Amino acid sequence: MKSLWVSADSLRDGFASAMSQMYQQEVPQYGTLLHLVSEVNAEVLAQDPALKQQLERDNELSRLSVERHGAIRVGTAAELSMLRQVFAIMGMYPVGYYDLSQAGVPVHSTAFRPIEDRALNANPFRLFTSLLRLELIDDLALRQQATEILAARDIFTPRCRELVRLHQQQGGFSAQQAEEFIPQALETFRWHQQTTVDQATYQALLAQHRLIADVVCFPGCHINHLTPRTLDIDRVQALMPQSGITPKAIIEGPPRRTVPILLRQTSFKALDEPVRFRDGLGTHTARFGEIEQRGIALTAKGRALYDRLLLESETGTENDAHQQKLAATFAAFPDDARVLREQPLAWFTYRLSEKGRANPAQIAGQQNIERLLEEGLIIATPMIYEDFLPVSAAGIFQSNLGSEAKPRSQGHSSRAEFEQALGAAVSDEIALYGQRQQASLARCGVKQGG
């Protein structure tokens, strides 16, 4: 019998859309931001027909309007490992290891995301997922208490657990099961006004780190932001106040470039939201909004240059000054597609042009990619960066949780512990980009190396 299972791409698309609907209801400013981003994207495309054509040709235009990332934080290894199984059903796999303890945030993280070209183009929805490091709570009694609170909760509905088991046994979902799975999985990420603790416990955890209180005191792992992708972050940042949204002071990441690199992000501050403790009312500050502009993925060499320049650059507290300083330092980073390819600092996707399809013999055996491009036999387009940046992430965490920049000395990087909690290895993002570039060249009939 032919498989009638619903595809992982379609499950992810349905889930991402349901998540966005839910978050628009929970945080109305997110809806305003979505609206602003789609307006700015439409303007950019109208003003830059060449960009529009390129995005259309590469099947990227369709993903733009559905594209977003979210972020969640969990408290235990068991929760993280169960999330891995839930996301696998939607074609999202752990990529990258981010150690944020070095920036004073007591978590380490990965991104669950699709990894293949086709899946990324269908819907690149990704979730930045952090695991709390309870060992960084130095008060032992409090650490024990937090451990017990977390052990007593189940952030998954019983039906969600059953459906995950069923999927693992059957190897897929029928249409009806898929329809049931999406809202069941969504429950884990819903906001709860009712906390699981009394005020004293909340305050004690908050005093350790705001993030610890956010993870430990609630019955679920509420989605804390959803981030649409804009084609012009400077414009959205400038327009945010007119829509009644106050952005964070500076845009994180690299400066504006002719060939945009990696990821630029800005966010707006979390609101104080009313919550109920076991013994009274209060407020909690956790959820916020963010936008991002994605550029080309960098090779290990390009990434090392980015990291070095970011470190060397002076920073400003006001965005214009900050961007000018960044731009001055990043003058040392080539901003030309050809140079980016030749060095090589960045990844590209290659495909045959019409001429190339008509003349395969001219390609076979040719190893000089620039020559093939010049002759119009193949076409190169920047490969979009699908991941995150730890320095930017730390900036976003801090600006939204109250700045607390003290680095935690115990916070040695522990990727192995993270993978053990996850129950799987995380993929190396740079290796994934390299494989995709290689595969695109192979599809063109270009032999590389040797």
Residues that bind ligand OOG (CB under 6 A): 71, 73, 128, 130, 224, 265, 290, 388, 392-393, 396-397
The interface with Ni ion within residues 203-262 (CB under 5 A) comprises 227
Nearer of residues 101 and 227 to Ni ion, judged by Cβ? 227
What is the identity of the amino acid at 280? G
Whole-angstrom Cα Rg for the chain = 23
CB of 400 to ligand OOG, least distance (A): 6
Q: What are phi and psi of 291, to 5 degrees?
A: -130, 160
Nearest-CB residue for ligand OOG: 393
**Dihedral over Cα of 103, 107, 112, 115: its sign:** positive
Q: Rounded distance, CA 248 to CA 245, Å?
A: 10
**If DSSP states are collapsed to H, E and C, what string results for 316-346?**
CCCHHHHHHHHHHHHHHCCCCHHHHHHCCCE
Q: H or E segment at 132?
A: strand 126-132
73 binds, among Ni ion, ligand OOG, none (CB under 5 to 8 A by kind): ligand OOG
The interface with Ni ion within residues 50-89 (CB under 5 A) comprises 71
CB of 444 to ligand OOG, least distance (A): 34
Nearer of residues 173 and 288 to ligand OOG, judged by Cβ? 288
Nearer of residues 68 and 167 to ligand OOG, judged by Cβ? 68
- Identify whether the C-beta of residue 444 lies closer than 8 Å to the C-beta of residue 360: no
Nearer of residues 253 and 382 to Ni ion, judged by Cβ? 253
350 binds, among ligand OOG, Ni ion, none (CB under 5 to 8 A by kind): none
Nearer of residues 93 and 98 to Ni ion, judged by Cβ? 98
CB of 383 to ligand OOG, least distance (A): 19
Q: Give the CA count within 13 Å in the CB-facing half-sphere of 261.
A: 24
CB of 16 to ligand OOG, least distance (A): 15
The interface with Ni ion within residues 277-306 (CB under 5 A) comprises 290
Q: Rounded distance, CA 440 to CA 117, Å?
A: 10
Q: Rounded distance, CA 237 to CA 37, Å?
A: 10
Q: Rounded distance, CA 26 to CA 355, Å?
A: 52
Checking DSSP bridges between strand 263-268 and strand 289-294, what pairing results, if any? antiparallel
CB of 173 to ligand OOG, least distance (A): 28
CB of 224 to ligand OOG, least distance (A): 5
Q: Rounded distance, CA 380 to CA 336, Å?
A: 13
Q: Give the number of residues written for the chain.
A: 450
Q: Per-residue contact track with Ni ion, 94 to 113, x per CB under 5 A?
A: --------------------
Q: Rounded distance, CA 24 to CA 28, Å?
A: 5
Closest CA to 91 of 179, 10, 197: 10
224 binds, among ligand OOG, Ni ion, none (CB under 5 to 8 A by kind): ligand OOG
Q: Rounded distance, CA 293 to CA 417, Å?
A: 32
Is the previous residue joined to 344 through a cis bond, with omega within 30 degrees of 0?
yes
CB of 388 to ligand OOG, least distance (A): 5
CB of 154 to ligand OOG, least distance (A): 21
Q: Rounded distance, CA 94 to CA 427, Å?
A: 6
Task: Count the site residues for Ni ion by CB under 5 A.
Answer: 3
Nearer of residues 267 and 440 to Ni ion, judged by Cβ? 267
- Identify whether the C-beta of residue 74 lies closer than 8 Å to the C-beta of residue 108: no
Rounded to whole angstroms, what are the CA distances from 354 to 118, 351, 357, 445? 21, 10, 5, 14
Nearer of residues 237 and 392 to ligand OOG, judged by Cβ? 392
- Measured CA angle at 266 (ends 262, 267), to 5 deg: 140
CB of 128 to ligand OOG, least distance (A): 4
164 binds, among ligand OOG, Ni ion, none (CB under 5 to 8 A by kind): none
Q: Rounded distance, CA 236 to CA 24, Å?
A: 18
397 binds, among ligand OOG, Ni ion, none (CB under 5 to 8 A by kind): ligand OOG
79 binds, among ligand OOG, Ni ion, none (CB under 5 to 8 A by kind): none
Nearer of residues 86 and 163 to ligand OOG, judged by Cβ? 86
Nearer of residues 69 and 167 to ligand OOG, judged by Cβ? 69
CB of 101 to Ni ion, least distance (A): 18
388 binds, among Ni ion, ligand OOG, none (CB under 5 to 8 A by kind): ligand OOG
446 binds, among Ni ion, ligand OOG, none (CB under 5 to 8 A by kind): none
Nearer of residues 101 and 130 to ligand OOG, judged by Cβ? 130
Task: Provide the binding-site residues for Ni ion, judged by CB under 5 A.
Answer: 71, 227, 290
